Amino acid sequence: MRTHEELASTYGSPLYVYELDTLRANLADLTAALPARSTVLYSLKANPHARLVRELATHGCGAEVSSLSELRTAVDAGVGERDVLYTGPGKSRAEITAAVRAGSHWFSVDSAPQLDAVRAVADDMAVGLRVLLRVNPDHSTPGSALVMTGVASPFGLDADQILAEPSAFAPTTRCQVVGLHFYLGSGVPDAAALAAQFAASIRTAVTIQRRLGFDWEVLDLGGGFPRSFACSDERPGLAGLREALDDALAAVPGAVRVLFESGRYLVGSAGHLVATVVDVKRSKGRWFAILDSGINHLGGMAGLGRLPRMQPEIIGVGESDEQVSIVGPLCTPLDWWTRSGQLRPQPGALIVVPNTGAYGLTASLVAFLGRDCPGELVLDHGEVVDASVLSYARQPLVPEGLSTTVEETP
Ligand SMILES: Cc1ncc(COP(=O)(O)O)c(C=O)c1O
C-alpha cells in the first residue's frame, strides 16, 4: 500500500485517490440490501471517472446519466443499452437526438412536453424509444439532505396530473411509456426512512400503472442511500431494507424489472482528497493554513446545500489548542473548508479529506481562477492502476453545431 506521502511525491499535490476495493465492497453492501430481482444504476453525477464506471459496470451496475458526456462514459465503460437510463429535466430535441446517436434508447421524462420531444425524435429518426415517466408523488421523505420531489419541483410530473389525463401518455408508433421513475431526494437518513419512501412510491406506482394501463416493464424506485460526505462519520447501515422492500414489492407484478439509483453510497467512501499545506500565517489573533486545494476542487456545490463542513485529518502534525482556519488558494474569502480546525499544520504537511469519492471534483468550481485540477489516482489492492488529470480548454464554437456536446467538462 503506497502512503499519501509517496503518492504525492510521485504524482504531485493535490490528488484525489480512489480505491477499487472499497468501491466493490460498497456495491456488494448495497446489492445485499436490495431485493434479488433488482438492478443498481450508478449515477455518474456523483463521479464520472471512467475507471470507476468501468469497475461498476463489470460488476453488474447499469448507469443513470444526465448528459451526453456521462452517456458516452457509460457506453465506453461497457454499460449495455438496456442498462443506461437518460434522466434530467430540460432535455432539448437536439440533446435527445444526440443521445440516441450515442446509444441511449431509454429516457426518463419530467413533463408532457418532454415526452412529446422524445416522441418527435423517435419519429424523426425512425427508432423505437422507451420512456419512464418520472413521478413527483404526494409524499416526501422527512430528514433527507436534499429534497427533489414530493414538493413543487422541476423534477417529475405531479402524480395527480398523470392520473387526471391518462390518454396523454398513450403509446405512439415508435415511443411508449414502459415504466415509472421515482427519485425523491438524496441522503435519506436511515433504512426505515428509505423503506417508508419506497413503499409509498410503490403504492403510487401501482395506482398510476392501473390508471394508465401501459405495458409495465420497469419500476425505477430511485434511491437516496445515505453516506457521509467529507468527514469520517459512520452512517447507519441498511439492515432490514431488503425484507421491507420484498414485502412492498409483492404488490408489483413479477415480470417488472426493479431499478435503484445510487451515486454517493457507491463511490463516496471509495475516494479521498490529499492536499498540502502551502503556507501558515497568523492574522489578528487567528491562525490560517493555506492549502493547494480549495472549493475549486471540493465543495463548490454550496448552492445545492452541499457546502461541506469538514473535519480534515492532518498527517504528520499534532493538534493545537488554538482554532485554525483551513482555507484554499483562491482569491476569494469564500474559499474556506473550516474555520474551527483544531490543527497544528506546518507548511508541507499533507491533509486528507475522507469520503470525497462522490460529489468531489466534478461538483466543484474547477474553472474558477483557472487553476489546474488535482490529479486523480485509482488504486486496486493498494497499487496505482490509473493516473490522469482532468483538463478543460477553450475550443472554437462551431456555427450550427451541437453545442450540447461538452467533452470531459463537468
Ligand atoms: C435522479 C437522481 N438519481 C440519482 C441521484 C444520485 O444520488 P446519490 O448520489 O445521493 O445516490 C441523484 C442525485 O441528485 C438524482 O438526482
pLDDT, tens digit (0-9, with 9 covering 90-100), for 24-61: 999 999 999 999 989 999 999 999 999 999 999 999 99
383 CA to centre of ligand 1 in angstroms: 30
Q: Calculate the alpha carbon distances from 189 to 137, 194, 196, 197, 221 in Å.
A: 19, 8, 11, 11, 17
User: 87: Cβ below 6 Å to ligand 1?
Assistant: yes
User: 261: Cβ below 6 Å to ligand 1?
Assistant: yes
263 CA to centre of ligand 1 in angstroms: 6
Nearest atom (ligand 1) to Cα of 359: 9
Q: What is the 3-state secondary structure of 310-347?
A: CCCEEECCCEEEEEEEEECCCCCCCCEEEEEEEECCCC
Nearest atom (ligand 1) to Cα of 66: 1
Q: Quote the pLDDT of residue 410.
A: 42
pLDDT average, residue stretch 236-243: 94
Q: Quote the pLDDT of residue 83.
A: 95
Confidence of residue 406 (pLDDT cuts 50, 70, 90): very low
Q: Whose CA is nearest to atom 13 of ligand 1?
A: 186
Query: Three cell numbers at 15?
Result: 490528488
Residue with cell 420531489: 149
User: 410: Cβ below 6 Å to ligand 1?
Assistant: no
User: 225: Cβ below 6 Å to ligand 1?
Assistant: yes
pLDDT above 50 (res 409): no
pTM of the shown model: 0.92
9 contacts: CB under 8 Å, gap ≥ 6: none
Q: Quote the pLDDT of residue 338.
A: 79
DSSP β-bridge partners for residue 188:
none
Pick from 216-220, 316-320, 391-395: least confident = 316-320
Q: Residues 369, 348: contact at Cβ < 8 Å?
A: no
Q: Quote the pLDDT of residue 307.
A: 53
Confidence of residue 346 (pLDDT cuts 50, 70, 90): confident
Nearest atom (ligand 1) to Cα of 134: 1
Q: Quote the pLDDT of residue 186.
A: 87
pLDDT above 60 (res 308): no
Average pLDDT taken over every residue of the chain: 90
User: 26: Cβ below 6 Å to ligand 1?
Assistant: no
Residue with cell 460529489: 359
- How far apart, in whole angstroms, are the C-alpha atoms of residue 74 and residue 68? 10
Pick from 1-5, 110-114, 298-302: least confident = 298-302
| Mutational test site, ligand 1, from 45, 67, 136, 146, max ligand atoms within 8 Å of CB | 45
User: 156: Cβ below 6 Å to ligand 1?
Assistant: no
User: 115: Cβ below 6 Å to ligand 1?
Assistant: no
User: 229: Cβ below 6 Å to ligand 1?
Assistant: no
pLDDT tens-digit series, residues 245-284: 999 999 998 789 999 999 999 999 999 999 999 999 999 9
Most confident stretch, 121-125, 142-146, 345-349: 121-125
Nearest to 277 by CA among 332, 325, 309: 325
pLDDT average, residue stretch 299-326: 62
pLDDT above 70 (res 310): no
Q: Quote the pLDDT of residue 302.
A: 53
Q: Quote the pLDDT of residue 123.
A: 98
Task: State what percent of residues in the chain have pLDDT above 70.
Answer: 92
Q: Quote the pLDDT of residue 164.
A: 97
User: 220: Cβ below 6 Å to ligand 1?
Assistant: no
pLDDT above 50 (res 371): yes
Q: Are strands 157-158 and 129-136 parallel, antiparallel or unpaired?
A: parallel
- How far apart, in whole angstroms, are the C-alpha atoms of residue 107 and residue 100? 10
55 CA to centre of ligand 1 in angstroms: 19
- How far apart, in whole angstroms, are the C-alpha atoms of residue 184 and residue 196? 12
| Mutational test site, ligand 1, from 186, 262, 355, max ligand atoms within 8 Å of CB | 186
Query: Three cell numbers at 308?
Result: 461541506
